[in-house]
Chain A
Amino acid sequence: MSDAPILALDNVSKIFGRADNPLYAARDVSFALHSGRTLALVGESGSGKTTAARLIMREYFPDKGQLLFRGAPMGKADSKALKAYRSSVQMVFQDPFASLNPAHTIHYHLDRPLRLHQRGLSRAQRRAAVEELLQRVKLDPGQLMAKFPHELSGGQRQRISIARALAVNPQVIVADEPTSMLDVSVRLGILNLLNDMKRQLGLALLYITHDIATARYVAEDIMVMYAGQIVEWGDMEAVLGNPQHPYTRLLLSAVPDPDRRFSEAGAELDQIETIRRQSALPQPDIRQVADNHFIRPMP
């Protein structure tokens, strides 16, 4: 487990709209992904976390700043560099019902990535590899290989998505709300699977969610995002135990907590509008609160 990050965003901004009225979907975003560690990116809708995911998956390109892959910046690159990137960075999607093609069997879904990224394998070897992948995500190959996605449950489909991402032997997995569309009792299995894969394979995981409680369960580090900026970040227990930015405090007090009835609201809930407005303004300064805990103070 080396210290150098496999993937990093360095002061990246993504701007939409016209020059006189720019909309910053991401503003000066910087973070790094290390092997064997999970980084949680937490925020509400419109906060910019989807933009960050798209920047990493090369669907968007940075307008300012750069994406660093193994230390080297990725330009709008040549196809060879892009192919290496695609072998190293994979994504698990939110919607288990839309992430698999209804017209193809499970075997097809796992066979394709093997064919594209491990050309040397024979047919028999590929089949064995598909079986091994299914077993790794705790599914029975005999039962499922010939089935179609609509015959599987949501949890099973999500496991297939993870298996597909693992088929290319990636180093980074971006999980975009992988459990938000699953039943409560199924979520834990998926989260445990991601944790196990991370430990066994030394993956770097970027876990994007709006559900902070699950973020705490899987990630060591956390970033809180609002209006395109990362307003607070650092070690999970440090940030959750001692939130400094008013937006983080607002978010944490709004998360349903069965121990606190509605009447015992935190102070932030009375100033929602103000906090939102202030947090949307550009906050260029960075202040260090503790060893691994930073915030961008509100102006």
Chain B
Amino acid sequence: MTTPVLSVRNLNIDYIGAETDFHAVKGVSFDIAPGELFGLAGESGCGKSTIAFAVSRLHRPPALIRKGSQILVDGRDVLTLDDAELRKFRWREVAMVFQSAMNSLNPVLTIEDQFYDVLRTHTGISRAKARTRAAELLKLVDISPDRLSAYPHQCSGGMRQRIVIAICLALNPKLLIMDEPTTALDVVVQREILQRIDVLRKQLGFSVLFITHDLSLMVQVSDRIGIMLEGELVEVNDAQTIYRAPQHAYTRKLWASMPRLHGTQITGEVTP
């Protein structure tokens, strides 16, 4: 059994308030194998984004990862890394694409400068080499290299998201975390981007932690799926089983709440 790329063990995360605590993540454990696309599905407030942030250690107070939690990336516990090790860890081993990543591109830097920024910080390469590498990466996501001199506002939303993905792949990370990466995009653009990720995944061999609330999309794209409800992981199974034979009542309720485009329509009965 090869070492999983990501191994989350007994993760507990609370948001500390003035008097009471909010338990955002309760005892969650799961693994992601190398090259696997693992989907984490759930509605708002279930804790899926909290988990994603915890893996990259991006949380700010009042969030608190309780002791006893373990997050192992390729066997190393991320929670014990100090600042210097963390800096090396981010981008190289784990990269994250946020929902509003289109807005996380610096508006006053050209695309080429954005790439240079990341590459230089982590590898110290020269400008010329960075330009070549940037062009390579843009080709991976189907963007022509003459976009390097453009500014983010000159690119469409879908293009910006693809640029962010290209920057994330710059250092060949082992794990790509995508937190609702296509929710704000149109369905055709969404399809294009996810198809590209699928191709790149098979080509470069990274794993993906894919977070979304769109279950149908997740079944299309993922190898395995975890369903989260109020901080707990209630069901983990491979995609087709989650679709055709859901075990947990909540999963069944989710499927019963989604109108179908093809075939028989759902009955529409709402169970509380």
Contacts and interface: CB of A to CB of B under 8 A. Distances in A.
B219 A254 contact: no
B191 A192 contact: no
Given A192-B268, A262-B198, A184 B187 contact: no
A266 to B, nearest CB: 10
Interface stretch (A55-63, A75-83, A170-178, A206-214): A206-214
Contact of A240 (B186, B214, B219, B261): B261
Contact size range, A:
20 to 34
Interface in A214-264: 214, 216-217, 240, 250-252, 254-262
Contact of B259 (A189, A213, A259, A269): A213
A185 B216 contact: no
B257 interface: yes
Nearest to A138: B270
Interface string B125-152: 0000000000000000000000000000
Interface string B232-272: 00000000000100000000011001111111011010100
Interface residues of B, number: 33
Contact of B257 (A185, A212, A240): A185
A278 interface: no
Contact of B188 (A188, A254, A262): A254
A189 B217 CA distance: 22
Interface of A: 44-45, 183-185, 187-189, 191-192, 210, 212-214, 216-217, 240, 250-252, 254-262, 265, 269, 272
Interface of B: 43-44, 186-188, 190-192, 194-195, 198, 213-217, 219-221, 243, 253-254, 257-263, 265-266, 268, 270
15 contacts: A44-B188, A183-B43, A183-B44, A184-B258, A188-B270, A192-B268, A212-B261, A217-B268, A254-B187, A256-B187, A256-B216, A257-B261, A258-B219, A262-B195, A269-B191
